Amino acid sequence: MRRSLPVFVVAVAAVCVLAGFFEKPEGQSDAVTAFGRLPVLAEGRIKPLDSVARSTLLVIQGRQRVVVSDKPGADEITPDEWLLDVLFVPEKADTYPVFVVDNTDLLLLIGKDDESLAIHYNGVIANLLATSDVLPTRRRRMSFNEIAPYFSQIEAQEKLAEPVEAQTRTQFQSAVVQLYGNLSSYLRLKRALVPEGSKDFLTELLHLQESLADGVAAVRAKEAGQPHDEAKAAALIAEGQKFLQMGESTDLLAIPPDEGDTDLNAWHNAGHALLESFGNGYVNTSVLAYAGMSYAWRQDEPGSFAHIVQLYGSSLERRYEKQVHKARVETIFNAAEPFYSCMLVYLAAFFFAALSWLKWPETSRLSAWGLVALGWAVATLGIATRMWLEGRPPVTNLYSSALFIGWGSVALCLVLEATYKNAIGSAAAGVIGFITLMIAHHLSLAGDTLEMMRAVLDSNFWLATHVVVVTTGYAATFLSGMLAVIYILRGVFTRSLDKATADSLARMVYGIVCFATLFSFVGTTLGGIWADQSWGRFWGWDPKENGAMIIVIWNALILHARWGGLVRQRGLMCLAVFGNIVTSWSWFGTNMLGIGLHSYGFTEAAFWWLSAFVASQLLLIGVANLPLDKWRSFRPRSPGA
Amino acid sequence: MNEVLRQVRTLFVSLRLTVVLLSLSIVLIFWATLDQVHLGVWAVQQKFFHSFLVFVKVGDLRFPVYPGGYLIGGLLLVNLVSAHVYRFKLSWRKCGIWLTHAGLILLLVGEIVSGLVQQDFQMRLDEGETKNYSESIRTNELAIIDATDPKFDDVVAIPESMLAKGLVVQNPKLPFRVVPKLYYPNSDLQMRSQAPGAPASLATQGIGPMVAVTPLEVTYAEDARNWPTVFVELVGPDGSLGTWLASAIPLMPQKFDFAGRSWKLVMRPQRHYQPYSVTLEKFSHDIYPGTDIAKNFSSKIRLNMPDGVSTREVLIYMNNPLRYSGLTYYQASFDGEHTTILEVVRNPSWLVPYISCSAIALGLVIQFMIHLVAFAGKRRRP
């Protein structure tokens, strides 16, 4: 029982996690899944249409699933199905509420207020939940059709707000810039494969194919000033203008180059690919294939849709074996959401670790440890997949730094737990793993997380050394802070912090601070060397550099204070908690200043969270400084207890 | 030993002082980071780090309110050295700490030295253009050029700092004295026809009388620069030739003849000449397809060696500078499709951080390994 229960717990969790990799998205046909796997070039890299759909949805509505209307009990569709509707049945997609609008002034601009958006519940319980903010009290998401009448007002406000620097914009300005951007990216998708207003693009293209030779001859003759068929020439020129406009209004490069061309610059959007028809005398087959899918999807003919997707998919596979393979893996990765299941596993691990301090110490402790190991293995797999997809070291942007800080901290926790066997490592792992993945989730709302590296940062060697090492330093500093938080909370609020546990926590914090000092110093130094190689100065007092240097100095200060006997156990813990503030400042605060070479990861709502986090840590330090007889663990037990 | 001396010694070797100084340095760096939003990085360095005291301006008065980088760094150095001298004990257990602290001393000293000797310049090249000089980013000079020989310019350059002090310059190459009359460290120019109310100009010669000058606040912003303007009177052996206006804002070249020679007067970024020259063959700016994200900037240049015969082709791009004759050329920026801006740095002590940081890192590894081995040993024998 003592041995088998932990194994059982971990096995159940593992099955749940693995199921994600094999399960297909609910209610989605195989043909739609195959469509989602088709590779396109967007934002500088080849990715599956599924990723285009998901990252667009995350940006415009903050979640991936789409509810087709506001009515209670309305159908849900998958990201791939949403994308199909946007591309091929836009009049239907225009009715889906997918644009998040929260700002009150912006709502007024589009003719809404709290009253018109209020959600009315039937039943006492639902109403009660709504008033206590558990259920939403008003609609947050609008459809394109609801917003479209106000487009010119939004555009005018955006023009006013856009020149203002991102950091100094008011909430209304940020909201209107955001909404305008969301509407534009939606429109760019809508016009990516089919021109605006076209109901049967396939027939139009087939007709073009037939009349192409005559039309081109007519236009040539016209240009040469010779007799020609005016109607044919005019029709062809009109087509050309339509394609030109189509090409100008999208940034989705869905049309691969001809066979054998591996240059990414040779990918085209549908409009530009069609313009080439006039030169080479035939309509691009990829555009035709997409037009065919459009026809079948519009006519609701699942059989022929599946057939066309399959044909086009296998023709791509012959030509771009590697890219198609990568796109397939990325689609599976998207649907499995490994970091989401990882988050739940960490949460369960924390639950078991905390339980072990109260009841069933050994069983709960082993379960927690097993779950942490499982979560860490899944995170490792997830990070490794991202690295393989991107061909980059693990940390390339703020999002991946959150993943990596969590991963590194949890790895250290596994070592701590293997050494001390008191569930503290697992508890810390559960909390840090959960929080960092939560942060990562919110950062992912900014768009594609596998984004391209800006020129300055485009160096795998330095990304692999400087960034990885300094991020490990962050992870270790956070971990020492987390251990100190456990010390304080357990000591003040429970009776569970006995002398042995307190001493081992103090040793853990000390050890991790040593580790953090080494890694943050080496990481910062490597950054200096990179800077010397790239910009000719070892140290430039850039905000991010300063932040990293403060972490190094802070860790050195903790060590010196301890060696000098200036602090004892409790003081050490307070200093370690303050390390959390120092690290969070360097990680996020410096980006909020919006200056310097490193300010690539701008975040807006993060400011509020950072302040709240700092306040909570200061509060903890305050709590830790309560007189010792207020600490439940250190209070002499009342006689007879 | 005298009681006061003993107390001073105790203070300087104490870890308490170390901790206090480390705390002070954290506050200093944090404050400087926040102030960068207003001041820009260069001014912040002067105010906080390359200074003994940090001054805060209240009205027109400046009050010292906080120890600056030199003071904190210097005290840390004293603290570190005296602690090691006082507690000197050669033991293997301490070798990690020794190495770390030795590296730290080297790092601090090296940073002070490089702060003093490092020089930054810029070289701006259009495709096909050749230059044998780079230009200062912040300081300007007044160049008085003897242009009599069309093939060759003979230049006397007066640094901005001398103009600012109003120092009179007499140079054997010049048949006149140069007398700075009025100097603005930052300014704007307008044609007088567009600024009817402007006060009369000091200038009597050249383009000066037609131009109205507005003095501006000195700026420290990162993406802005100062545009100094100066009025100089040229005084020959037989009296004044008149007063000219010269400004870093590009003007029409001002020419005049005197003592049988033709002269040109121009204010320009201070130049740093090299015995070799650099030609930009091609500048490339790649972006990722379908985006406006920069993928790479690179400048293909030809280095024309001092012997005037041999040349070398070099590709300078991100993370790949050219190091030549004590100068390092980095891809810094660009202007349009065909103009590159290279940053040129002279830093003789560039190797110091590499050595000192390796020593510190190695020292830390040794020290923590010693701790770890001791800890593991203790656990094995409970």
Question: Over the stretch B3-15, which tens digit does the pLDDT of each residue have?
Answer: 888 888 888 888 8
Q: What is the dihedral of CA A252, A255, A258, A262, to 10 degrees?
A: 30
pLDDT category at A382 given cuts 50, 70, 90 is very high
The percent of residues above 70 in pLDDT, for chain A, comes to: 93
Comparing A244-248, A514-518, A619-623, the range with the smallest average pLDDT is A244-248
Residue B26 has pLDDT above 90, yes or no: yes
> Which among A94, A103, A195, A249 has a CA at the least distance from the CA of A604?
A103
| Cross-strand pairs, B241 | none
Tell me the DSSP string of B120-135. EEEEEEETT-EEEEEE
- Minimum Cα–Cα distance from B328: chain A residue: A536
- What is the distance between the alpha carbons of residues A456 and B184, in angstroms, rounded to a whole number? 37
To which residue do tokens 């998958």 refer? A78
> Which among A388, A380, A365, A478 has a CA at the least distance from the CA of A432?
A478
Q: What pLDDT score does A295 carry?
A: 92
pLDDT category at A640 given cuts 50, 70, 90 is very low
- What is the distance between the alpha carbons of residues A330 and A393, in angstroms, rounded to a whole number? 17
- Indicate the domain borders of chain A: 47-190, 201-328
- What is the distance between the alpha carbons of residues A214 and A211, in angstroms, rounded to a whole number? 6
Query: Is A599's Cβ below 8 Å from some Cβ in B?
Result: no
For residue B319, which residues of chain A lie inside 8 Å, CB to CB? 458-459, 462, 530, 533-534
Tell me the average pLDDT across A613-621.
94
Q: What is the dihedral of CA B328, B332, B334, B339, to 10 degrees?
A: 0
Is A557 in Cβ contact with B23 (below 8 Å)?
Answer: yes
> B211-215 and B229-236: which strand pairing?
unpaired
Residue B89 has pLDDT above 80, yes or no: no
> B294-304 and B53-58: which strand pairing?
unpaired
| Cross-strand pairs, A384 | none
Q: pLDDT tens across B121-156, in order?
A: 889 999 988 988 888 888 889 999 888 888 888 888
Q: Which of A460, A532, A592, A599 to mutate to test the interface with B (most CBs of B within 10 A)?
A: A532
Report whether A598 contacts A395 (CB < 8 A).
no
Average pLDDT over all residues of chain A: 85
Quick one: angle between helices A171-190 and A151-161, nearest 10? 120
Comparing A22-31, A62-71, A283-292, B364-373, the range with the smallest average pLDDT is A22-31
C-alpha dist (Å) from residue A239 to A179, A191, B219: 32, 15, 55
> Which among A60, A122, A130, A127 has a CA at the least distance from the CA of A97?
A60
pLDDT category at A596 given cuts 50, 70, 90 is very low
Report whether B254 contacts B207 (CB < 8 A).
yes
> Which among A427, A389, A433 has a CA at the least distance from the CA of A407?
A433
* Backbone dihedral angles phi then psi of residue A164, each to the nearest 5 degrees: -70, 135
Q: pLDDT tens across B34-44, in order?
A: 888 777 777 88
Whether the CA torsion A492, A493, A496, A501 is positive or negative: it is negative
Query: Is B186's Cβ below 8 Å from some Cβ in A?
Result: no
Copy the structure tokens of residue A610. 């950072």
For chain B, how big is the Rg over CA atoms in Å?
Answer: 28
Average pLDDT over all residues of chain B: 86
Nearest to A455 among B14, B29, B295 (CB): B295
A11 Cβ partners below 8 Å, 6+ apart?
A: none
For residue B332, which residues of chain A lie inside 8 Å, CB to CB? 535
Query: Is B101's Cβ below 8 Å from some Cβ in A?
Result: no
- Residue A70 DSSP symbol: S
Helix/strand/coil for A196:
coil
Report whether B50 contacts B113 (CB < 8 A).
no
* Backbone dihedral angles phi then psi of residue A114, each to the nearest 5 degrees: -55, -35
The percent of residues above 70 in pLDDT, for chain B, comes to: 98
Please compute, for residue A306, the number of CA atoms within 13 A of its CA located in the half-sphere on the CB side: 8
Q: pLDDT tens across A324-372, in order?
A: 888 888 888 888 888 988 999 999 999 999 888 888 888 888 899 999 9
- Indicate the domain borders of chain B: 3-118+351-380, 121-129+273-346, 141-271
Query: Is A295's Cβ below 8 Å from some Cβ in B?
Result: no
Residue A574 has pLDDT above 90, yes or no: yes
Q: What pLDDT score does B350 carry?
A: 81
Q: What pLDDT score does B211 carry?
A: 86
> Which among B136, B264, B245, B234 has a CA at the least distance from the CA of B183?
B245
pLDDT category at A1 given cuts 50, 70, 90 is low
Report whether A546 contacts A553 (CB < 8 A).
no
Residue A234 has pLDDT above 60, yes or no: yes
Query: Is B291's Cβ below 8 Å from some Cβ in A?
Result: yes
Q: What pLDDT score does A603 carry?
A: 47
Q: What pLDDT score does B22 carry?
A: 94
Residue A269 has pLDDT above 70, yes or no: yes
> B254-258 and B294-304: which strand pairing?
unpaired
Q: pLDDT tens across A435-488, in order?
A: 999 888 888 877 777 777 776 676 777 778 888 899 999 999 999 999 999 999
Helix/strand/coil for B307:
coil
Tell me whether residue A265 is exposed, middle or buried, using C-beta atoms within 10 angstroms of its C-beta: 0 to 12, 13 to 18, 19 or more: middle
Residue A429 has pLDDT above 90, yes or no: yes
Report whether B54 contacts B3 (CB < 8 A).
no
Report whether B281 contacts B330 (CB < 8 A).
no
- Size of the A and B interface in Cβ pairs below 8 Å: 159
> Which among A57, A102, A236 has a CA at the least distance from the CA of A605?
A102
- Residue A118 DSSP symbol: B
Nearest to B289 among A44, A533, A536 (CB): A44
Report whether A436 contacts A381 (CB < 8 A).
no
Nearest to B290 among A44, A557, A585 (CB): A44
- What is the distance between the alpha carbons of residues B58 and B67, in angstroms, rounded to a whole number? 18
Q: What pLDDT score does B223 carry?
A: 64
- What is the distance between the alpha carbons of residues A421 and B264, in angstroms, rounded to a whole number? 83
Residue A126 has pLDDT above 50, yes or no: yes
C-alpha dist (Å) from residue A42 to A37, A93, A189, A440: 14, 21, 11, 22
Helix/strand/coil for A88:
helix
Q: pLDDT tens across B277-322, in order?
A: 999 999 988 888 777 777 788 899 998 888 878 888 999 988 788 8
Helix/strand/coil for B61:
strand
- What is the distance between the alpha carbons of residues A508 and A8, in angstroms, rounded to a whole number? 30
Q: What pLDDT score does A579 carry?
A: 95
Tell me whether residue A549 is exposed, middle or buried, using C-beta atoms within 10 angstroms of its C-beta: 0 to 12, 13 to 18, 19 or more: buried
To which residue do tokens 């379908």 refer? B290
- What is the distance between the alpha carbons of residues A476 and A509, in angstroms, rounded to a whole number? 10
C-alpha dist (Å) from residue A431 to A346, A372, A423: 7, 11, 12
To the nearest 5 percent, what fractions of chain B are helix, strand and coil? 35, 40, 25
- Minimum Cα–Cα distance from A451: chain B residue: B293
Q: What pLDDT score does A2 carry?
A: 63
For residue A452, which residues of chain B lie inside 8 Å, CB to CB? 288, 291, 293, 295
Residue type, A205: L
> Which among B144, B146, B174 has a CA at the least distance from the CA of B159?
B144
Copy the structure tokens of residue A43. 């934002």
Report whether A376 contacts A408 (CB < 8 A).
no
| Cross-strand pairs, B262 | B257
For chain A, how big is the Rg over CA atoms in Å?
Answer: 29
- What is the distance between the alpha carbons of residues A144 and A594, in angstroms, rounded to a whole number? 32
Is A458 in Cβ contact with B360 (below 8 Å)?
Answer: no
Is A532 in Cβ contact with B120 (below 8 Å)?
Answer: no
Q: Which of A422, A514, A538, A590 to mutate to test the interface with B (most CBs of B within 10 A)?
A: A538
Report whether A447 contacts A514 (CB < 8 A).
no
Q: What pLDDT score does A641 carry?
A: 38
Name the helix (H) or strand (E) containing A317: helix A302-319
Q: What pLDDT score does A602 carry?
A: 42
Helix/strand/coil for B238:
coil
For residue B297, which residues of chain A lie inside 8 Å, CB to CB? 455
For residue A594, which residues of chain B lie inside 8 Å, CB to CB? 37
| Cross-strand pairs, B122 | B135, B343
Comparing A131-140, A167-176, B232-241, the range with the smallest average pLDDT is A131-140
- What is the distance between the alpha carbons of residues A97 and B99, in angstroms, rounded to a whole number? 64
Report whether B105 contacts B79 (CB < 8 A).
no
pLDDT category at A595 given cuts 50, 70, 90 is very low
pTM summary value: 0.81
Q: Which of B11, B100, B319 to mutate to test the interface with A (most CBs of A within 10 A)?
A: B319
Tell me the average pLDDT across B234-248.
88
Residue type, A373: A
- When comparing pLDDT for A24 and A626, which is higher? A626
> Which among B23, B18, B29, B24 has a CA at the least distance from the CA of A578?
B23
Q: Which of B288, B346, B370 to mutate to test the interface with A (most CBs of A within 10 A)?
A: B288
Tell me the average pLDDT across A388-407.
88
- What is the distance between the alpha carbons of residues A293 and B253, in angstroms, rounded to a whole number? 67
Q: Could you give the strand order of the β-sheet that contains B229-236, starting from the edge strand earlier in sequence?
A: B169-170, B177-184, B229-236, B239-247
Please compute, for residue A219, the number of CA atoms within 13 A of its CA located in the half-sphere on the CB side: 15
Comparing A11-15, A108-112, A132-136, the range with the smallest average pLDDT is A132-136
Is A517 in Cβ contact with B360 (below 8 Å)?
Answer: no
- What is the distance between the alpha carbons of residues A470 and A46, in angstroms, rounded to a whole number? 30
Copy the structure tokens of residue A87. 């591309």
Contacts with A, B 295-334, CB within 8 Å: 295-297, 318-321, 328, 330, 332
Is A535 in Cβ contact with B343 (below 8 Å)?
Answer: yes
Task: Count Cβ atoms below 10 Å from residue A390 Cβ, excluding itself.
Answer: 18
| Cross-strand pairs, B244 | B232
- Residue A163 DSSP symbol: T
